[in-house]
């Protein structure tokens, strides 16, 4: 292990990274709160400002992936599809198998200039998560409880508001509803068997209601659906803790573009289209497991300096006073000050660990498999 790789695994450095992210996030959230006064007078200005504020926060996580861990993302797609990236409103369908699948999606958003305006249909519990949920609230993210009777009006209102969004947006949908685990997969395939649907090997049965509703509400706004199938070289199982420890992963993403005009408008036919899409995604994963690659031409878009420069800005702004304060505490020799500062570090490390826990597969809560959850669309 080289010196740089060793340093990346040290808790103190990781704590400083977390400190910059958390404190900058709180500052950004406060500024976002102040921008609310603009909404009644100039909604589009409010949106443009918050798009850039959210970029300043999310790009720090992308920086960890691209610059800290050096993870590489290779796209398997054609040139015509790549030329459309960042020039249209789209719906993204991504498989939900990995702890960092959202980060791989975000790094593609960043490289094509839509990170700040990226959207997601998120579970309501995330609204309560500091920084993540708060930032999403100001970005007009649509939160749902995954109970259609309760979500109907909220989802329709939220999606309707996005029709005049001034920045090109990529709207991410995890149609499987929850992250893949063997237990959830077994339950999902029982549902597929009961409904007479083909079984999937690498995915959960997609929940069609979110997709059909989003497509219907954003008809005339989004021009295409991007199907993204993600996997990692050498059977790697990436984690956010691995990224923080500087571990490098090799991500491969098969991307297919479907114009909205080619997708059936009828809800039942649209649902069938989605089921067929997931059968194709399963075939792509089977090909990857056998061959180690996806079919088609490849492109590796270069990482941009903006994520690194943004992090260095916040690190310079926040770490200098923190280090000066820490030195002052040590020099003072005051047991009370030293104890107080130590307590602060412990609380900060616990808070950062809790944020990381939101992404962990073994800790992601889900009602998948409950009687109510089994009633999939």
Instruction: Evaluate if residue 362 carries a pLDDT over 80.
Output: no
Which DSSP state fits 69?
A: S
Kindly write down the DSSP assignment for every residue of 233-278, as one continuous string: GGG----HHHHHTT---EEEEEEEEEEGGGS-SSHHHHHHHHHHHH
**For the segment 64-86, what is each residue's pLDDT rounded down to a tens digit?**
999 999 999 999 999 999 999 99
Q: How far apart are CA 172 and CA 109, in angstroms?
A: 11
- Tokens describing residue 311: 């992090």
Q: Is the pLDDT of residue 337 over 90?
A: no
pLDDT band at 364 (very low <50, low <70, confident <90, very high): low
Phi, psi of 289 (to 5 degrees): -65, -30
Per-residue burial over 154-185, b = 16 or more CB atoms within 10 Å of its CB, e = otherwise: ebeebbeebeebeebbbbbbbbbbbbbbeebb
Structure confidence by residue, pLDDT tens digits, 175-228: 998 889 999 999 999 999 999 999 999 999 999 998 999 999 998 999 999 999
Three-class SS of 301-346: CCCCCHHHHHHHHHHHHHHHHHHHHHHHHHHHCCHHHHHHHHHHHH
Q: Distance (Å, rounded) from C-alpha 161 to C-alpha 266? A: 23
Assess whether pLDDT exceeds 50 at residue 374: no
Task: Give tens-digit pLDDT for 38-50.
Answer: 999 999 999 999 9
Cβ-contact 293, 75 below 8 angstroms: no
Three-state DSSP state, 90? strand
């Amino acid at each position: 292990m080289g010196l740089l790789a060793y340093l990346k695994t040290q808790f103190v450095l990781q704590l400083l990274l977390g400190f910059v992210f958390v404190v900058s996030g709180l500052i950004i959230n406060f500024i976002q709160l102040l921008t609310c006064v603009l909404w009644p007078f100039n909604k589009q200005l409010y949106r443009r400002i918050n798009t850039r504020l959210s970029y300043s926060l999310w790009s720090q996580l992308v920086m960890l992936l691209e610059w800290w861990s050096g993870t590489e993302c290779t796209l398997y797609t054609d040139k015509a599809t790549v030329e459309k990236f960042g020039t249209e409103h789209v719906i993204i369908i991504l498989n939900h198998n990995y702890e960092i699948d959202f980060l791989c999606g975000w790094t593609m958003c960043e490289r094509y200039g839509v990170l700040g305006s990226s959207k997601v249909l998120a579970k309501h519990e995330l609204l309560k998560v500091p920084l993540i949920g708060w930032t999403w609230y100001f970005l007009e993210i649509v939160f749902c409880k995954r109970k259609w009777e309760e979500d109907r009006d909220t989802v329709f209102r939220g999606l309707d508001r996005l029709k005049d969004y001034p920045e090109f947006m990529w709207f991410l949908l995890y149609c499987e509803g929850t992250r893949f685990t063997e237990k959830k997969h077994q339950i999902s395939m029982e549902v597929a068997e009961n409904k007479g649907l083909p079984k999937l090997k690498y995915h959960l049965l997609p929940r069609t209601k979110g997709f059909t509703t989003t497509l219907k509400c954003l008809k005339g706004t989004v021009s295409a659906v991007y199907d993204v199938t993600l996997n990692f070289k050498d059977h790697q199982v990436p984690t956010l803790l691995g990224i923080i420890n500087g571990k490098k992963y090799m991500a491969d993403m098969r991307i297919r573009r479907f114009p909205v005009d080619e997708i059936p408008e009828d809800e039942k036919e649209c649902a069938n289209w989605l089921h067929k899409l997931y059968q194709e995604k399963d075939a792509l994963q089977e090909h990857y497991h056998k061959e180690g690659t996806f079919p088609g031409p490849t492109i590796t878009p270069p990482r941009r300096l903006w994520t690194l420069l943004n992090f260095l800005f916040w690190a310079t702004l926040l770490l200098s006073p923190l280090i000066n304060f820490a030195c002052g505490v040590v020099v003072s020799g005051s047991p009370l000050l030293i104890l107080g500062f130590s307590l602060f570090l412990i609380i900060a490390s616990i808070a950062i660990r809790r944020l990381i826990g939101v992404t962990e597969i073994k800790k992601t809560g889900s009602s998948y498999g409950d009687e109510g959850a089994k009633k999939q669309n």
